[in-house]
């Protein structure tokens, strides 16, 4: 599944932890936004890890799920090219 994750974390230390966790699941595309390609299991684990870190009174994390059709319609102007997730085996 293709998921865009955005976050608004009030404390620098927590924000850094959230950012580092998300780096291991997806590509950092904007200051507080990641694009992730996840299995159901990876999504459940990511959500659990993030939920344990946030302060639910002041912090916010949002998950936007993109269907294959919508993911194919993403347009981008500027910035670095997205990583190629295609793996070839000889």
Number of structural domains the chain divides into: 1
Statement: residue 90 has pLDDT above 50: no
Would residue 78 count as lying in a domain?
no
Element holding 26 (H helix, E strand): strand 26-30
- Whether the CB-CB separation of 7 and 32 falls below 8 Å is answered with yes
53: CATH: 3.30.70.240
Which residue segment(s) compose the domain that 40 sits in?
Answer: 2-71
Global pTM?
Answer: 0.81
Looking at per-residue confidence, does 79 or 24 come out higher?
24
Question: What value does the mean pLDDT take over residues 5-28?
Answer: 95
Statement: residue 85 has pLDDT above 80: no
Would residue 48 count as lying in a domain?
yes
């Amino acid at each position: 599944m293709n998921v865009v994750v955005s976050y608004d974390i009030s404390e620098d230390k927590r924000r850094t932890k959230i950012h580092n966790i998300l780096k291991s699941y997806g590509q950092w595309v904007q200051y507080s936004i990641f694009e992730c390609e996840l299995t159901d299991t990876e999504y459940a684990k990511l959500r659990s890890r993030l939920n344990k870190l946030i302060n639910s009174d002041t912090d916010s994390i949002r998950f936007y799920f993109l269907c294959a059709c919508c993911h194919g319609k993403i347009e981008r102007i500027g910035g670095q090219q997205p990583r190629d997730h295609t793996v070839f085996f000889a």
